[in-house]
Structure 1
Amino acid sequence: MTTAVFPGSFDPFTIGHRYIVERAAARFDQLVVTVVVNPNKHGLLGVDERIALIREDCADLPNVRVDRWTGLLVDYLTNEGIDTIVKGLRSGVDFDYEVPMAQMNRELADVETMFLLTDPKYAHVSSSLVKEVAKLGGDVKPFLAPHIYQRVTAILAGERQV
């Protein structure tokens, strides 16, 4: 059985992430969307909430599961017996950022990275930009699944009231 990991912070999980999940899930027997936890960062959404929202968003994809990991990603892959990472690329900037990590992962644990290009209509969508626009009151509904949009806007509405 072929398995790959699609890692990220997914804070929040966007339509661009979903696009890459669909493409990768069609190419592997199992895809593990792995929320990589950085204990030094406090996200908009808690890790457990991100996992629950991603599970709900990907419930129609039977070969996709969601997990979490704190630490070096290659250690997760080694522990799980997985040798492929999937990364989505929006532009050459992403490629320039991701290639050194892919090379390091190969050197550390003989892990390969498969790059999938996003649909050009999602090339401008990133979690960071979605959060920034939402925090400033902009409409991010087109970039998130409805249940994720509702949660993000509810959190930000609470923050604005403080």
Structure 2
Amino acid sequence: MKRAIFPGSFDPITLGHVDIVNRALPLFDEIIIAIGINSDKKYMFSLEERKHFIEKYYQNQPKIKVTTYHGLTTEYCKEIDVDFILRGLRNPADFEFEKAIAQTNRKLAQIETVFLLTSADTAFISSSIVRDVYRHGGDISGLVPPSVLEK
């Protein structure tokens, strides 16, 4: 069984994240969307809200599982027996940053990273942009899945 983890803070999940997950579904038997918990980070949405947004959106997709974890992603991968990390790339800066992490993960834990390029219509979306637009009362409906809009 080919299983992948798609780690992130998902504060909140965006249509860019959804694009990557949906396009990766044919590649894996299961995709675990794993919300990393970083006590040093200030989140706009609570862990429960972020998890709810994702679970509600993917409620009818049996190949998607949503979990939370603390610590290193590679340690969590070992704990749940996952061999692939799924990551999306929006631009060259993402590639350089993610490449270094992927090489480190392979060296330290023999875990492969699978990169998918974001679709052109979602490549500009990031959670930080969504939070900024939301914070200032802007319309985020074209940036996030409907489950986030219910908030």
> Shared fold by TM > 0.5?
yes
- Residue 75 of structure 1 pairs with residue 75 of structure 2: yes
With structure 1 as the length reference, what TM-score do the two structures score?
A: 0.90
Residue of structure 2 equivalent to 1:156 = none
What amino acid is the match of 1:112? E
Q: Which is further off, 15-24 or 141-150?
A: 141-150
> How many residues are paired up?
151
Residue of structure 2 equivalent to 1:19 = 19
- How far the C-alpha of 1:72 sits from its partner, in A, is 0.5
More helix by share: 1
Residue of structure 2 equivalent to 1:39 = 39
Question: RCO (CA 8 Å, sep 6+): is it higher in 1 or 2?
Answer: 2
- How far the C-alpha of 1:137 sits from its partner, in A, is 2.0
Residue of structure 2 equivalent to 1:160 = none
Cα deviation code 1:119-162 (max 9, x no counterpart):
101010000011011112221111112230231xxxxxxxxxxx
Cα distance between partner residues in 2 of 1:150 and 1:69: 25
Query: After the TM superposition, which parts of structure 1 deviate over 4 Å for at least 4 consecutive aligned residues?
Result: none
Cα deviation code 1:64-119 (max 9, x no counterpart):
10001110100000111111000011111110110000011011100000000111
- Asked whether the 8 Å contact 2:57–2:146 carries over to 1, the reply is no
Residue of structure 1 equivalent to 2:150 = 150
Cα distance between partner residues in 1 of 2:68 and 2:6: 11
Cα distance between partner residues in 1 of 2:45 and 2:26: 28
Quote the RMSD (CA, aligned, Å).
0.9
Cα distance between partner residues in 2 of 1:59 and 1:109: 31
**Stretches of structure 2 lacking an aligned partner (at least 5 in a row):** none
Cα distance between partner residues in 2 of 1:48 and 1:75: 23
- How far the C-alpha of 1:54 sits from its partner, in A, is 0.3
In our comparison, the structure showing a higher alpha carbon Rg is 1
Identity in percent: 38
**Stretches of structure 1 lacking an aligned partner (at least 5 in a row):** 152-162
Cα distance between partner residues in 2 of 1:125 and 1:149: 16
Cα distance between partner residues in 1 of 2:37 and 2:21: 19
Cα distance between partner residues in 2 of 1:41 and 1:93: 22
